[in-house]
A and B are shown apart, each in its own frame.
Chain A
Amino acid sequence: MAADTTSGGGITLAGLSKSYGAVRAVRSIDLTIAAGETVALLGPNGAGKSTTIDMMLGLTRPDSGRISLFGMPPAEAVAAGVVGGMLQTGSLIPHLSVRELITMVASLYPRPLPVDEVLQLTGTAEFAGRPTGKLSGGQAQRVRFAVALVANSDLLLLDEPTSALDVEGRREFWASMRAVAAQGKTVVFATHYLEEADSYADRIVLIAQGRIVADGSPARIKARVGGRTIRATLPGADLARLAALPGVASADRRGDTVIISSAAPEAALRALLDQYPAARDVEVRGSGLEEAFLALTTDDGDAALPVQEVR
Chain B
Amino acid sequence: MTSMTYVRYEVVRNFRVWQFVFFALAWPIIVFFTVTSANRHATFDGIGFPLYFMAGMAAMGTISGVVSRGSLIAAERSIGWTRQMRITPLRAGAYFGAKVLCGYLMALLTVGAMCLAGAMMGVRLSAGHWLAFAGLLLVGLVPFAVLGILLGHLLKPEALLPAVAGTTTLLALLGGAYGFLVATSGPVFEVIRALPSYWLVQAGKTALGHGGWPAEGWIVIAAWTAVLVPLTVLAYRRDTSRV
Q: Whole-angstrom distance from the CB of A210 to the nearest CB of chain B?
A: 18
Q: Is A104 an interface residue (CB 8 A)?
A: yes
Kindly state the separation between the CA atoms of A58 and B90 in the bound complex, as whole angstroms: 13
Decide: A107 and B80 in contact? CB cutoff 8 A: no
Chain A residues, Cβ within 8 Å of B12 = 95-96, 100
Decide: A109 and B87 in contact? CB cutoff 8 A: no
Decide: B13 and A96 in contact? CB cutoff 8 A: yes
Decide: B90 and A108 in contact? CB cutoff 8 A: yes
Kindly state the separation between the CA atoms of A85 and B80 in the bound complex, as whole angstroms: 13
Chain B residues, Cβ within 8 Å of A107 = 3-6
Decide: A90 and B6 in contact? CB cutoff 8 A: no
Q: Is B22 an interface residue (CB 8 A)?
A: no
Chain B residue, CB-CB nearest to A131? B16
B174-224: which residues lie under 8 A (CB-CB) from chain A?
none
Decide: A104 and B17 in contact? CB cutoff 8 A: no
Chain B residue, CB-CB nearest to A78? B87
A77-134: which residues lie under 8 A (CB-CB) from chain B?
78-81, 83-85, 87, 89-96, 100-101, 103-110
Decide: B88 and A108 in contact? CB cutoff 8 A: yes
Q: Is A147 an interface residue (CB 8 A)?
A: yes
Decide: B88 and A59 in contact? CB cutoff 8 A: no
Q: Whole-angstrom distance from the CB of B62 to the nearest CB of chain A?
A: 22
Q: A87-B80, A95-B16 are in contact. Are A59 and B87 (CB under 8 A)?
A: yes
Q: Is A6 an interface residue (CB 8 A)?
A: no
Decide: B89 and A90 in contact? CB cutoff 8 A: no
Q: Is B86 an interface residue (CB 8 A)?
A: yes
Q: Whole-angstrom distance from the CB of B108 to the nearest CB of chain A?
A: 20
The 0/1 profile, CB within 8 Å of B marked 1, for residues 247-267 of chain A is 000000000000000000000
- Interface centre among A78, A81, A144, by most B CB within 10 Å? A78
Decide: B5 and A79 in contact? CB cutoff 8 A: no
Where chain A touches its partner, the secondary structure class is: loop
Decide: A57 and B87 in contact? CB cutoff 8 A: yes
Number of A residues with CB within 8 Å of any CB on chain B: 35
Decide: B5 and A103 in contact? CB cutoff 8 A: yes
Decide: A108 and B6 in contact? CB cutoff 8 A: yes
Chain A residue, CB-CB nearest to B88? A108
Decide: B3 and A108 in contact? CB cutoff 8 A: yes
Chain B residue, CB-CB nearest to A150? B88
Decide: A79 and B81 in contact? CB cutoff 8 A: no
Q: Is A225 an interface residue (CB 8 A)?
A: no
Chain A residues, Cβ within 8 Å of B16 = 95
Q: Is B9 an interface residue (CB 8 A)?
A: yes
Decide: B80 and A93 in contact? CB cutoff 8 A: no
Q: Is A61 an interface residue (CB 8 A)?
A: yes
Q: Whole-angstrom distance from the CB of A60 to the nearest CB of chain B?
A: 6
The 0/1 profile, CB within 8 Å of B marked 1, for residues 66-83 of chain A is 000000000000111101
Among A58, A91, A106, contact of B80 (Cβ-Cβ < 8 Å):
A91
Chain A residues, Cβ within 8 Å of B17 = 95
Chain A residues, Cβ within 8 Å of B243 = 54, 59-60
The 0/1 profile, CB within 8 Å of B marked 1, for residues 138-154 of chain A is 00000010010001000
Q: A59-B243, A90-B83 are in contact. Are A95 and B13 (CB under 8 A)?
A: yes
Kindly state the separation between the CA atoms of A147 and B13 in the bound complex, as whole angstroms: 17
Chain A residue, CB-CB nearest to B15? A95
Chain A residue, CB-CB nearest to B14? A95
Decide: A104 and B9 in contact? CB cutoff 8 A: yes
Q: Is B37 an interface residue (CB 8 A)?
A: no
Among B6, B14, B88, contact of A151 (Cβ-Cβ < 8 Å):
B88
Pairs A–B under 8 Å by Cβ, sample size 30: A58-B87, A59-B87, A78-B87, A78-B89, A79-B91, A85-B87, A87-B80, A87-B83, A90-B80, A91-B79, A91-B80, A91-B81, A93-B76, A93-B79, A94-B13, A95-B13, A95-B16, A95-B17, A96-B9, A100-B12, A101-B9, A103-B9, A104-B10, A105-B88, A106-B5, A107-B4, A107-B6, A108-B3, A109-B89, A147-B84
Given contacts A59-B86, A104-B6, 7 further A-B contacts (CB under 8 A): A87-B84, A93-B76, A93-B81, A95-B16, A103-B9, A104-B10, A108-B90
B contacts, CB < 8 Å to A? 3-6, 9-10, 12-14, 16-17, 76, 79-81, 83-84, 86-91, 241, 243
10 residue pairs, one from A and one from B, having the closest CB atoms:
A90-B80, A107-B5, A107-B3, A104-B9, A91-B79, A95-B16, A95-B13, A85-B87, A108-B88, A81-B89
